[in-house]
Amino acid sequence: MLFNSLSFVLFLIIVLALYYTKLFNWTGKKRMLLLSSYIFYGMWNPPLVILLWISTIVDWTAGKKLAVEENQKKRKMWLLLSMIVNLGFLAFFKYGDFFLENFVILMNAFGIDFQAQPMDIILPMGISFYTFQTMSYTIDMYKRKIEPARTFLDFALYVTFFPQLVAGPIVRAKELISQFYEEKRATTNQFIWGLFLLTIGLFQKIVLADTLLADTSDTVFGSDKLLHGVDAWIGTIAFSGQIFFDFAGYSTCAIGIALMLGIILPDNFKYPYASLGFSDLWKRWHISLSSWLKDYLYIPLGGNRHGITRMYVALMLTMLLGGLWHGAEWTFIVWGGLHGTYLILERLQRRYLPFEITKWNGMFLAFTTFSCVNITWVFFRARSFETAWNMIKSMFYMQTGGEKILDTFTILKVSVIIAIMFLCHWFMRNTSMKEVSLKTSPYVLGIIWAIMTFLIIIAQGSGEQFIYFQF
């Protein structure tokens, strides 16, 4: 079920009504939330709920055993079981065709005539999110960082909680499970603020991403022509805005919906396009994934504890795998590799060419970071290296006579939206929406809210899927 659909509006109204009636005690409410979460997921593809159940049962059992088992070897086996099941699901459903395709290429490269039919496996929505979330539980249990979930119901709800089930934030057990132990009820202010966040999230998705930016990015990246530099840049920055508004929109909706139930989810985006460098970017963009990768990949790979070279290797590996997490394509791996390279170059700069960041050079640095990020988006968005390379050549004017496929109004529209987005991120980078709203007149806030609502409704979103659902 998509947040930007009428069926979800009905679903949410029913869930909220049941949640706030006195029909159920807290356990009953949690059962209702769990059942609703399965319905939420099953309305897309009912049989794939079974994967959620398997993940839940395996990790619940592994977690329980890890809590009491003292034998280190057995503990490792339980952890391994959880890893095999979750990563096995990912490997089969998400990377099956990718592995097969590359295996065929490898065989052919060695002169072995081997062909295989693509398996055409359906990709379960949000599989990368819920497997990472549930794995964090068993890993933390293995490391004895957290207490086991008190009941199966609490754990199952942690794995399946519908607001963040299919596209995050990827919440750690310690942040969410403990919230299920005691009855939660949103205060009036929390409920209204949650509704406001839901509106902002839908506005970002329906109006900004789908209505104002998606077509330009689709036109440019879907073109089979060599493009003029301006068109290539406009298409790229349009995608840059689209993916931010799409993904941050989803996270904002998720946080808002959870808040309406009295549950607090962590922030997933903090104005990332005003980042001062790439370390800063990854503290602001998809925070729940970058912190997951840091804690469960970068640090176990050695982090910065074993010298500089090892640190760079760990950094690069983490980013390459982070790229692969996004999709089973080499273009995503290159995207991760570029971010890894940026991070390494930034560390080298800090070591050999340190400089102080002031308010004067800060904006320039943020703009430079944003521009470099845009180059990586080309590989993220393009469906082939040929398209990506053509785009890069156009962007850096390495070819003459590129075709102009965008009209002047589209160029102006995208430029203005992206400029406003960049400035908003810049001015908001050290504050939060909550703080700003506290300083804003309630009437002004109401007017802004009404404008967003009006635009969401007249946009008549056709229920476009969120980009990150495919990851």
> In this complex, which beta carbon is closest to other proteins, that of residue 104 or of residue 445?
445
Q: Which residues contact other proteins by CB under 8 A?
A: 1-2, 5-10, 42-46, 188-189, 192-193, 195-196, 207, 210-212, 215, 403-409, 411-413, 437-438, 442-443, 445-447, 449-450, 453-455, 457-460, 462-463
> Least CB distance from residue 383 to other proteins, whole Å?
15
In DSSP notation, 103-144 reads HHHHHHHTT-------------TTHHHHHHHHHHHHHHHHTT
- Tell me how far, at minimum, the Cβ of 262 lies from other proteins, in Å: 15
Q: Give me the half-sphere count of Cα atoms (radius 13 Å) on the Cβ side of residue 212.
A: 26
CB of 6 or CB of 353, closer to other proteins: 6
Residue 310: name the closest of 319, 299, 325 by CA: 299
| Catalytic one of 228, 286, 306, 326 | 326
Minimum gap (Å) between residue 401 Cβ and other proteins: 12
Pick between residue 355 and residue 443 the one whose CB is nearest to other proteins.
443
Give least dist CB 254 to other proteins, A. Answer: 17
Active site (annotated) includes residue 326 = yes
Among residues 27 and 384, whose Cβ is nearest to other proteins?
Answer: 384
Query: 294 near 314, Cβ under 8 Å?
Result: no
Q: How many CA atoms lie within 13 A of 407 on its CB side?
A: 3
In angstroms, what is the minimal distance from the CB of 183 to other proteins?
A: 23
Torsion over CA of 162, 166, 172 and 175, rounded to 10 degrees?
Answer: -30
Cβ neighbors of 253 (< 8 A, separation 6 or more) are 3, 163, 197, 198, 201, 202, 205
Phi, psi at residue 68, to the nearest 5°? -110, -20
The C-alpha R_g of the chain, in whole angstroms, comes to 23
Asked whether the beta carbons of 249 and 209 are under 8 A apart, the reply is: yes
The closest alpha carbon to 116, from 106, 101, 127, 131, belongs to: 101
Q: Of the two residues 151 and 219, which places its CB atom closer to other proteins in the complex?
A: 219
Q: Which residues are catalytic?
A: 326
